[in-house]
Amino acid sequence: MRRSGFDSRLVGLTVLLAFGLWFVTFYLGWLNFWVKISFSAGLLATLAVSAGAIRNNRLLFDRTAVIQGIVSAAVLYLIFWMGNAVSSWIFPFAAGQVGAIYGKGQGFPTIVVFFLLLLVTGPCEEIYWRGFLQKSLMSRYGKTVGWLAATAIYTGVHIWSLNFMLIGAAAVGGAFWGFLYMKLGRLDSLIICHSLWSAFIFAVVPIS
C-alpha cells in the first residue's frame, strides 16, 4: 500500500546519487575534501527542497529549537568523546583511523572549514537525510522502520571511506539525529545540532 508523501522513484534516485557523491567525496582524491562534501550535501539538499522538504518540515528556529539544538549537540559531542576513549582502548587501530578522518582536506584553512560545516554542510545534510529521506521513509514504513532505514542508508554511504571508525561514527551520528527527528519532529533543532556539532568537533575542539 502506498502512503501519501512517498515517491519511491525520487527517493531511490536520490539515494543512488548520494552513494555516487559520497564515492567521489571519500574515495577519489580529486579536489579538496571539504569542497566536495559541501557540494555533495548542497546538491542533495537542493533536490530535497525541490521535492518539498522545507514546506513539509517545521523550520521556526525559535527559542525551543535553539535550546534543543545546543543541548543535543553537547550531548552528541560527549557521546563521541566517550566513544573515542573506549574505542581507543578496545581497537589498536582506532587512533590511526580517527587521525585519518581529521587528516582529510589537510591544509584547508580551519576558519573556512568551520563556516562550511556550520552554514553549508550541516544544514544541507539535515535537509536531505532527515527532512527528506527519513521523513519519506517514515511516511511509507512507519516511524521506527523509517528511522532505522534512513540510518542504515546514511551509514552505508560512508563505506566509501574504507574507515571503520568513520563508518561507526556515521552510524552513531545518523541514529542520534534520526532518533531526535523521529521524536521531536523538528528539522530546525536538528539543523542547529548537526551544524554546531560538526563545526566544533572538526574545527574547534577535535577529539583525538
- Cα(191)–Cα(63) distance, integer angstroms: 14
Has residue 3 been placed in a domain? no
- Cα(28)–Cα(54) distance, integer angstroms: 32
- Domain count of the fold of the chain: 1
Per-residue pLDDT of the chain (208 residues), as tens digits, is 344 557 899 999 999 999 999 999 999 988 999 999 999 999 999 999 999 998 889 899 999 999 999 999 999 999 999 999 999 888 888 788 878 888 887 889 999 999 999 999 999 999 999 999 999 999 999 999 999 999 999 999 999 999 999 999 999 999 999 999 999 999 999 999 999 999 999 999 998 7
Return the amino acid letter for 204.
Answer: V
pTM over 0.85: yes
Q: Which three cell numbers stand for residue 141?
A: 514504513
Has residue 113 been placed in a domain? yes
Has residue 2 been placed in a domain? no
Contact 19, 133 (CB under 8 A): no
Structural domain range at position 194: 8-203
Has residue 62 been placed in a domain? yes
Has residue 1 been placed in a domain? no
